[in-house]
């Protein structure tokens, strides 16, 4: 036998095992990130927008003026539309949510 030592095999060193574990973990994280990206894109593109409402037909819960009513004055606040409406001989104030069009409050003048 000779006194020359053979170099250690790379598979047996601690640093090689550590680097191999790091590469495996990072590879798994990349695969998980790609899967989440694809799932997110599929969810985004599968959401179908609501169909437009037919002319003259209001969505359920949407505010509709009474027949023969006229808007006398209109003001807007953040997220609200305030209408002064006159229908025949009576006046009313209607407060409407601008997000979905439903009536929040209605104040009718006493006759």
The pLDDT tens digits for 26-42 are 999 999 999 999 999 99
Nearest to 86 by CA among 74, 100, 104, 99: 74
User: Tens digit of pLDDT for each residue in 52-94?
Assistant: 554 444 555 667 777 888 888 999 888 898 888 888 888 888 8
Domain boundaries, given as residue ranges, for the chain: 11-46, 69-108
- Residue 16, H or E segment: helix 14-46
Place of tokens 């209408």: 83
pLDDT recorded at residue 55: 45
- What is each CA distance from 94 to 48, 50, 85, 89, 103, in whole angstroms? 32, 26, 7, 16, 7
Kindly report whether the global pTM for this prediction surpasses the value 0.75: no
């Amino acid at each position: 036998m000779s006194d020359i030592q053979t170099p250690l095999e790379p598979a047996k060193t601690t640093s090689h095992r550590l680097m191999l574990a790091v590469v495996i973990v990072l590879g798994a994280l990349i695969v998980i990130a790609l899967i989440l990206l694809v799932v997110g894109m599929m969810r985004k593109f599968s959401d179908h927008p609501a169909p437009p409402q037919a002319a003259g037909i209001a969505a359920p819960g949407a505010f509709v003026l009474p027949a023969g009513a006229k808007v006398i004055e209109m003001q807007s606040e953040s997220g609200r539309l305030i209408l002064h409406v006159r229908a025949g001989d009576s006046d009313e104030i209607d407060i409407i949510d601008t997000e979905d069009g439903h009536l929040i409050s209605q104040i009718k003048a006493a006759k």
